[in-house]
Amino acid sequence: MAIKTTTRKIYFDTNVLIYLIENHPVYRNKIVSLIKAMDELDCITVTSELTLAECLVKPFAENDQRSQAIYIDHVKNSDFLQVKPVSQKILIEAARLRSIFKNKLPDSIHLATALASSCDVFVGNDKKIRVADSIQLVTLDDFA
């Protein structure tokens, strides 16, 4: 599956950034190819502040201060990534979306953030997540 040429904003779920930062042997090259395609289309990449919290769980559990610092350094606003806050408005919309799609709360927060940010594509690797018709779901396993 490829992203559409009309795509302008792409949402990265937490697992995409973990795979990229951790140099995942199966997914890293797919993500790098996706980022190159996004760059050619002049796309904007978006994620939620929730991503940082999710990324830090394992480094905190393992008391891995180096990984903590790497994630804190990478999951922030940059030329590559817009990190959106988890506001009350996002949380209310996440609850509404959860009532419709029955996703887990973190997935609903990610989806609410993607929709509020006018993202065209939601990239992740969770095959169970359900999204609104207004956004294209692309899983890394399906990305060509």
| pLDDT of amino acid 28 | 94
Residue that has been written with the tokens 């997935």 in this structure: 107
Kindly state whether residue 17 falls inside one of the protein's structural domains.
yes
CATH of the domain at 88: 3.40.50.1010
Does 43 map to a domain?
Answer: yes
Q: Is 131 part of any domain?
A: yes
Whether the pLDDT of residue 3 is over 70: the answer is: no
Check residues 79 and 92 and name the one with the higher pLDDT.
92
User: Does 111 map to a domain?
Assistant: yes
pLDDT in the model for residue 5: 59
For the sheet with 136-139, list strands across it: 81-84, 44-48, 9-12, 121-124, 136-139
22-78 pLDDT, tens digit per residue, is 999 999 999 999 999 888 888 999 999 999 999 999 999 999 999 999 999 999 999
| pLDDT (0 to 100) of residue 70 | 97
One DSSP character per residue, 39-100 reads: HHTT-EEEEEHHHHHHHHHHHHHTT-HHHHHHHHHHSS--SSEEEEP--HHHHHHHHHHHHH
pTM to 2 decimals?
Answer: 0.93
- Domain containing 108: what range? 9-139
Domain presence at residue 4: no
pLDDT tens profile 95-135: 999 999 999 999 999 999 999 999 999 999 998 999 999 99
**Is the CB of residue 16 less than 8 Å from the CB of residue 125?**
yes
Is 3 within a domain? no
* Per-residue model confidence (pLDDT) at position 37: 87
- Residue 2 belongs to some domain of the structure: no
